[in-house]
Structure 1
Amino acid sequence: MVIPSQFGIQAISNFLHSLDATTDPLCPLLELVLENNVFIYGHDFYLQTWGVAMGTPYVNSYSNLVLAQWEKVKLLCDVNPWYKHLLYYGCFTEDIFIFWKGDAGQYSRFTDYLNHTTKFLKFQFDCSETEINFLDAKVLLHPVKGLQTSLHRKYTWRNYYLHRQSMHPNHIFKNILKNQVTRISRLCTNDADFSREFTDLHHNLRARGYRDMDLKLTADINTIRTNQGWPYFSESLSPVPFRDTQTKNMPLKCLMTFSSDNKHVCDTIRKYWPVLTADERIRNIVGDHPSFSFKNRKNIKCLLCNKDGFAQQVSLTRQRTFRC
């Protein structure tokens, strides 16, 4: 998807008008950025005249608002002759999910209509009456139980979970375990599918160096399935237990640069924290227990790349790596 600049600017302008907001100075600044993106390749300078520069901070918001404008005037309105056939419409960035009511001929004409709504959007379609894949979910229509989901992996999937020997804080590995189990629990309506994916996850994590002691953290399947891992399409209509994440007296955050010595440093701070909190006034400020946050050290990229992309004076013969 390559969005023409003037179409994108007009879409942003329409969105601002719908909020009764002024287009100045946002739209002129947007036009300035879109039409003056200059980059260097080899010994030549180039001006980008079409689309948005890769990595531009606003690109996600820009593309989402453009697609929202397209949906409003071409898809989710009476201009679309097939609008009443859409039982459900949802999208994630450029991926669209639709429940369609109609025969194959009507669906074919609908897809042809979509591909002629703009010159910069081209759609590829996949449809089925029983099951279909959307992102990491396989959506199935059971003849008795209705909608069900299970985990879907693309053919390009590889076992690239963060290796256990990687230099990261221990809570990162615990979060990976918890979040992956929660993910497959939410996506797998059927308990048999969940058990199969749960076993596969353990095998994949062991292949990435995770120990049995790490994997024991995910052993309480029943707790996961009935709490934060409640399936999206559960056969039970019981409400998902609500857990209030807002806590009182949040502890003071100790910010430090991550290193292999962090565990010893954290243990030392915890050991002598009662000395600090002996004074009630200080305890009310810092909390009863310390909490830690870590920031990254400079990696190879940071060491090789100039922080600002280019030096003040560009030298084409200088042997150095610059940001894209």
Structure 2
Amino acid sequence: MGCKFAPELANLFMDNFEQQHILNEDNIYKTNILEFKRYLDDIFIIWNGSENELFNFQQSINSVHNTIKFELNFDNAKINFLDVLVVKKGVLLETDLYRKETDTNSLLRYDSFHPRHMKQNLPYSQFLRLRRNCSGLMEFDKHAKTLIEQFVVRGYPKKSLKQAYFKVRRMERRSLFVKKEREGIQTRMLIPITFNGNTRHIQNAILKYWNLLQDVPGCSNKPLFVYKRAKNLADHLVHSKCTVQGILPYSPQSRTKGNVPCYNCSVKTRISEHRSCIRNRRMTAPMVEHFTLCNHSDTDIRFWTIERVPGTGLHLERKLRHRELFWIYTLQTQKPHGLNDNCNWSAVL
């Protein structure tokens, strides 16, 4: 979603949208909404009305904003919300685990370079998730059996898996929905450490001499170490550091050509925007339409910086448009030979 604060900003916007147009007493469909829950962009509603009223409600909220649109999926017997399958049994609602058909075994490998406590606690946390999602023990046992098989494939010892399974199975399900406050966390100093082969030695050295700091305010209790992820191969090999000053190590190899100008941003940012449009199928440019029509993905993009135009302000913008048209004409990227369309030749007149 772009910037780090984007999800929070989107949540604030949607909360305001809901209060004004959905949960407002002036909404004529408000009485049909028995329950309304939202997590980010997924909404769960228990509807007490006809199907026609439901369709009219969808049309009503879709007409409020130009870009905020709601897709509707409904069923009278069962429906999934996130990783939960909600099933209607008479006047009651029961829940079960929901898995997509494309779901694969992506559990963390036991031989991966991660903190030991993380790999030891992962089965327990996954069984807790199952226990919360499954309202019946029969459904829990069925999915737990599948989960154990997946963990075994990833190298986890069966003994620790069975211990975690039986520990969770004996728990009262209602108690799992009560938020528990961890005692002592707020009074302990947090020390972030990048996880690597020397992390344990660093921790031991700090704890060994921590008694020398106990008289310092805030250091009376032993610190809590928080691990940061070190750079992996993807960080070193995938993410480009190219900016406007650099020439990207790609050359156009496809017959489908297009010239993309860059206005006051890095090449990396510009290409990332196009990739985002392709992934989300936002038909804002001929390139996105072409990728969608040909069933390409954003990983199929190959780009090449052919010129850097210096300057600032309006003069730079006019100069960029002039050079853009120059390269469109030189490389013959105007439709039907390429993807450039609706070229404004006034910049060269």
TM range (shorter): 0.5 to 0.7
* Structure 1 unpaired stretches of 5+: 1-53, 233-239
Match of 1:70 among 9, 14, 17: 17
Match of 1:296 among 229, 235, 243: 229
The match for 1:23 is none
Contact 1:167 1:260 in 2 (8 A): no
Equivalent residue letter for 2:84: A
Distance 2:33 2:109 in 1: 44
Contact 2:214 2:220 in 1 (8 A): no
Equivalent position SS for 2:161:
helix
Cα separation, partners in 2 of 1:133 and 1:71, compared to 1, 3 Å: same
Q: Does 1:186 align with 2:123?
A: no
CA apart distance, 1:188: 0.8
The match for 1:40 is none
CA apart distance, 1:195: 0.9
The match for 2:84 is 137
**Matches for 1:1-324 after TM superposition, within 5 Å:** 54-143=1-90, 146-221=92-167, 225-226=171-172, 230=175, 243-247=180-184, 256-263=193-200, 269=205, 273=208, 277=211, 285=219, 287=221, 291-303=224-236, 314-317=244-247, 319=249, 324=272
Distance 2:213 2:8 in 1: 48
Equivalent residue letter for 1:299: N
Cα separation, partners in 2 of 1:254 and 1:70, compared to 1, 3 Å: closer
CA apart distance, 1:253: 5.6
The match for 1:29 is none
CA apart distance, 1:196: 0.9
Equivalent residue letter for 2:232: N
CA apart distance, 1:263: 4.9
Contact 2:188 2:224 in 1 (8 A): yes
The CA RMSD over aligned residues, in Å, is 3.6
Cα separation, partners in 2 of 1:257 and 1:246, compared to 1, 3 Å: same
Contact 1:185 1:230 in 2 (8 A): no
Equivalent residue letter for 2:196: S
What TM-score do the two structures reach when normalised by structure 1? 0.64
Cα separation, partners in 2 of 1:169 and 1:82, compared to 1, 3 Å: same
CA apart distance, 1:138: 0.9
CA apart distance, 1:299: 2.9
Cα separation, partners in 2 of 1:69 and 1:256, compared to 1, 3 Å: closer
Cα separation, partners in 2 of 1:306 and 1:203, compared to 1, 3 Å: closer
Cα separation, partners in 2 of 1:138 and 1:78, compared to 1, 3 Å: same
Equivalent position SS for 1:127:
coil
Equivalent residue letter for 1:259: N
Distance 2:151 2:229 in 1: 24
Contact 1:85 1:100 in 2 (8 A): yes
The total of aligned residue pairs comes to: 254
Distance 1:113 1:280 in 2: 62
Equivalent position SS for 1:68:
helix
Contact 2:127 2:165 in 1 (8 A): no
Contact 2:188 2:223 in 1 (8 A): yes
Equivalent position SS for 1:161:
coil
Distance 1:86 1:200 in 2: 37
The match for 1:13 is none
Moved more, 131-140 or 291-300: 291-300
Percent identity for Structure 1 against Structure 2: 24
CA apart distance, 1:193: 0.7
Equivalent position SS for 1:219:
helix
Cα separation, partners in 2 of 1:116 and 1:211, compared to 1, 3 Å: same
The match for 1:3 is none
Cα separation, partners in 2 of 1:249 and 1:278, compared to 1, 3 Å: farther
Cα separation, partners in 2 of 1:77 and 1:249, compared to 1, 3 Å: closer
Cα separation, partners in 2 of 1:153 and 1:68, compared to 1, 3 Å: same
* Structure 2 unpaired stretches of 5+: 251-266, 273-349
What TM-score do the two structures reach when normalised by structure 2? 0.60
Equivalent residue letter for 1:170: R
